[in-house]
């Protein structure tokens, strides 16, 4: 009798262990399946962002046997943190992702090869700058230059006032992508009139070989932004005043060819806007360039006192890509913050 009792107890134990193992296997299967639901939530959040969401938002939905729920928390205008949970049979699996948009003008000044401030350099002429090559301040005074360490994810920053080499970031710039439809024709001879109608951002495309794109001594922007692409020929942006009193986002000049621009002598260039010319080399002598906006160039050398502030936050609205995931990791399902 006692033997039968022992065998019965052993059998019960084996059955219990088997049932426990089966439940654990099923829980693991549901947990793994929940990852697909969590990923579906991230994908839905990206879709919602591409449709123009501009504040923190939440959503729920289903993907196969899984349901998802997520919150997308706005960090800034171009960054969101997405916490997404997928659930299968009551078992949850959570992931946390960071969604960003790449900016066209993510620095006040970016030069592929080099940036040089040469001579008396005082004040804070530049909000942030970077180069794939070198950044130097030479001569007397300090520029109080702030560079790429101030951008999200960079740092730590050294003292604000620097003379000599300043840290760089490798970030070669691609050629501008010229739109193939929904454009305006370049003005005859490449000469833009004194008042340029941007048609709410409908881009001009100047692509005539041997043509010089030029601007009037005073150029006013209406119905901005004015967006100009130059694919061949040359550009003469010197000795002019463009978009004075406006915001930088309302004048954007994208230049594909290699250019060499020098501002000096008796004339001064005043520009409020963004210039994206990754093959252009620019020299400014004697403070003959006043700019509020941003530059992307191959090389920049400023001899003398910079008269430009460069910084204009309106250019932060000029993005290169749709929303994309820059980081991603799994997180405990109970995590609600700092995951």
In tens, the pLDDT along 295-314 reads: 899 999 888 766 666 767 78
d(CA 227, CA 199): 9
4-13, 208-217, 227-236, 268-277: lowest mean pLDDT where? 4-13
**Helix (H) or strand (E) segment spanning residue 43:** helix 2-50
Interval 58-93: pLDDT, tens: 999 988 888 999 999 999 888 999 999 999 988 899
- The average confidence (pLDDT) of the chain is 79
In this predicted structure, what is the pLDDT of residue 23? 60
pLDDT over threshold 80, residue 213: yes
In this predicted structure, what is the pLDDT of residue 103? 83
CA atoms within 13 A on the CB side of 321: 13
180-189, 204-213, 295-304: lowest mean pLDDT where? 295-304
Q: Is the whole model's pTM more than 0.85, yes or no?
A: no
In this predicted structure, what is the pLDDT of residue 54? 85
Q: In angstroms, how far is the first alpha carbon of the chain from the final one?
A: 58
**Residue 126 pLDDT level (bands cut at 50, 70, 90):** low
In this predicted structure, what is the pLDDT of residue 215? 94
* Number of Cβ atoms within 10 Å of the Cβ of 297: 25
**Residue 335 pLDDT level (bands cut at 50, 70, 90):** low
d(CA 226, CA 223): 8
**Is 44 within 8 Å of 70 (Cβ atoms)?**
yes
pLDDT over threshold 60, residue 97: yes
**Residue 284 pLDDT level (bands cut at 50, 70, 90):** confident
Peptide bond preceding 156: is omega within 30 degrees of 0, i.e. cis?
A: yes
In this predicted structure, what is the pLDDT of residue 109? 83
pLDDT over threshold 50, residue 154: no
**Residue 115 pLDDT level (bands cut at 50, 70, 90):** confident
pLDDT over threshold 70, residue 44: yes
What is the separation of C-alpha 53 from the centre of its chain, rounded to a whole number of angstroms?
17
Paired tokens of 12: 């019960």
**pLDDT (average), residues 268-295:** 87
**pLDDT (average), residues 316-327:** 85
Structural domains of the chain sorted by starting position, each given as residue range(s) with its CATH number in brackets: 2-101+321-331 (3.30.1300), 109-317 (no CATH)
Interval 31-43: pLDDT, tens: 788 888 999 999 9
Burial class (CB in 10 A: 0-12, 13-18, 19+), 306: buried
In this predicted structure, what is the pLDDT of residue 137? 66
53-57, 97-101, 141-145: lowest mean pLDDT where? 141-145
- Contacts for 324 with CB less than 8 Å, ≥ 6 apart: 46, 99, 100, 101, 102
In this predicted structure, what is the pLDDT of residue 159? 45
d(CA 69, CA 58): 7
Interval 218-267: pLDDT, tens: 999 999 999 999 999 999 877 899 999 999 999 999 999 999 988 876 77
């Amino acid at each position: 009798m006692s033997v039968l009792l022992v065998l019965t107890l052993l059998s019960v134990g084996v059955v219990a262990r088997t049932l426990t193992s089966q439940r654990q296997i099923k829980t693991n299967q549901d947990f793994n399946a929940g990852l697909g639901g969590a990923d579906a939530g991230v994908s839905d959040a990206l879709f919602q962002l591409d449709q123009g969401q501009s504040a923190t938002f939440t959503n729920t939905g289903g993907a196969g046997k899984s349901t998802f729920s997520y919150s997308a928390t706005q960090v800034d205008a171009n960054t969101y943190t997405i916490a997404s949970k997928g659930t299968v049979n009551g078992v949850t699996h959570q992931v946390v992702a960071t969604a960003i948009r790449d900016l066209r003008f993510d620095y006040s000044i970016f030069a592929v090869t080099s940036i040089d401030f040469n001579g008396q350099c005082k004040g804070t002429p530049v909000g942030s700058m970077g180069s794939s090559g070198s950044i130097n301040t030479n001569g007397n005074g300090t520029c109080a230059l702030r560079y790429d360490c101030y951008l999200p994810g960079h740092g730590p920053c050294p003292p604000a006032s620097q003379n000599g080499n300043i840290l760089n970031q490798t970030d070669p710039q691609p050629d501008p992508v010229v739109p193939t439809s929904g454009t305006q024709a370049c003005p005859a001879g490449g000469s833009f009139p004194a008042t340029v109608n941007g048609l709410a951002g409908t881009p001009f495309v100047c692509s005539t070989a041997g043509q010089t794109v030029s601007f009037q001594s005073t150029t006013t922007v209406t119905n901005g932004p004015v967006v100009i692409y130059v694919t061949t020929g040359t550009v003469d942006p010197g000795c002019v005043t463009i978009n004075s009193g406006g915001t930088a986002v309302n004048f954007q000049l994208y230049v594909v060819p290699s250019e060499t621009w020098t501002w000096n002598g008796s004339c001064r260039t005043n520009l409020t806007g963004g210039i994206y010319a990754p093959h252009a080399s620019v020299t400014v002598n004697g403070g003959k360039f006043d700019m509020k906006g941003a530059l992307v160039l191959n090389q920049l050398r400023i001899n003398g006192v910079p008269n430009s502030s460069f910084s204009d936050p309106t250019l932060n609205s000029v993005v290169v890509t749709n929303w994309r995931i820059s980081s991603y990791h799994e997180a405990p399902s109970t995590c609600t913050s700092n995951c």
